[in-house]
Amino acid sequence: MKQTVRQFFAKFPDDDACLAHLFEVRYGHDHECPKCGKAKWHRLKNVKAFSCQSCGHHIHPMAGTIYEGSTTPLQLWFYAMFLFTKSRNGVSAKELERQLGVTYKTAWRMGHKIREHMARVDGDEPLGGSGKTVQIDETFVGGYKKGAKGGKDKAIVMGMVEQGGNVMTRVVKDRKRLTMYPVIKSNVRVGTEVHTDELPAYNRLAYDRDYTYKSVDHSAKEYVGRDGQSTNSVEGFFMHIKRAIKGTHIWVSKKYLDSYLGEAEFIYNRRNAPETILTDLLYGYPKG
């Protein structure tokens, strides 16, 4: 069950509760002091840190996290992540500005950092394997320059979706075999059945003994092949990304596209267990 706003604030009523949670997740109260070996800690007043009761050594739970160096209250960071879990199409900087009562600059930075956190928590494990299927496709994301045709001035996003499993994206420079084939080899496990469309860049897969390869011919209006092959799942994921960008963010620059893709991957990969989204974010910190 997804957490309600009331439940969220009951658990994190103030900055102290948020900092205590961060300390517990990263270190735990049984954490031994690196200086004296004792394991008793207390919260320091007016400093976002904990001190060893025996030798006074300090631990700063925010160090090494997306909160490091931020003067924004920790509770607002946590609540911003809560907002991300409540939206299917992402959260814009303007929405964070309105909800949190911070400046647009601060809201934009918080959103960017949270997306970075999502990508790190989600990880980057290869897809597929023996007996599994991975669909691969590519799409153009972004706006045209005036007078441009085709995909000019658009970013090219390559997507890989494991049937019933996770998605992975990569921004690539072109749709040529020399660019796309190494991406597949690095991120799709040996033994996988791979489905693509008829793009010539994928032809090499037909001769690669590491994979079973099947394709669909979209130019002939084929969307599900005679052996059941398709790229429908990855195309559906692309539709979600574009809907989020157009409806929520209006426009995303190539420079930060990876960040928004990381958010989309994180949410998609938890589509069957949405109740874990906030938990994974609030417990997915580097261990101390």
**What sign for the dihedral angle of Cα 66, 70, 75, 79?**
negative
What confidence score (pLDDT) does residue 150 get? Answer: 57
Across residues 31-47, what is the average pLDDT? 92
In a domain, 241, yes or no: yes
* Contact between 54 and 38 (Cβ < 8 Å): yes
What confidence score (pLDDT) does residue 173 get? Answer: 94
User: Are both 138 and 59 inside the same structural domain?
Assistant: no
In a domain, 175, yes or no: yes
User: Are both 73 and 173 inside the same structural domain?
Assistant: no
User: Are both 98 and 160 inside the same structural domain?
Assistant: no
The candidate with the shortest Cα–Cα distance to 94, out of 85, 104, 84, is 104
Asked whether residue 153 carries a pLDDT value surpassing 80, the answer given is no
pLDDT digits (tens, 9 = 90+) for 67-121: 999 999 999 999 999 999 888 788 999 999 999 999 999 999 999 999 999 999 9
What confidence score (pLDDT) does residue 148 get? Answer: 52
What confidence score (pLDDT) does residue 147 get? Answer: 52
User: Are both 138 and 164 inside the same structural domain?
Assistant: yes
What is the band of 3 on the pLDDT scale with cuts at 50, 70, 90?
confident
What confidence score (pLDDT) does residue 1 get? Answer: 56
In a domain, 60, yes or no: yes
User: Are both 209 and 245 inside the same structural domain?
Assistant: yes
In a domain, 127, yes or no: no
In a domain, 204, yes or no: yes
The candidate with the shortest Cα–Cα distance to 158, out of 127, 192, 123, 131, is 127
User: Are both 72 and 149 inside the same structural domain?
Assistant: no
pLDDT digits (tens, 9 = 90+) for 211-263: 999 999 998 889 898 899 999 999 999 999 998 888 788 778 888 899 999 99
What confidence score (pLDDT) does residue 247 get? Answer: 78
What is the band of 151 on the pLDDT scale with cuts at 50, 70, 90?
low
In a domain, 266, yes or no: no
What confidence score (pLDDT) does residue 221 get? Answer: 87
Q: Mean pLDDT of all residues in the chain?
A: 92
In a domain, 42, yes or no: yes
User: Are both 114 and 9 inside the same structural domain?
Assistant: yes
pLDDT digits (tens, 9 = 90+) for 260-277: 999 999 999 999 998 899
In a domain, 117, yes or no: yes
What is the band of 143 on the pLDDT scale with cuts at 50, 70, 90?
low
What confidence score (pLDDT) does residue 86 get? Answer: 86
User: Are both 107 and 183 inside the same structural domain?
Assistant: no
User: Are both 98 and 173 inside the same structural domain?
Assistant: no
User: Residue 164: which domain range?
Assistant: 133-252
The model's pTM? 0.89
CATH code at position 195:
3.30.420.10
Q: How many domains does the chain have?
A: 2
User: Are both 116 and 149 inside the same structural domain?
Assistant: no
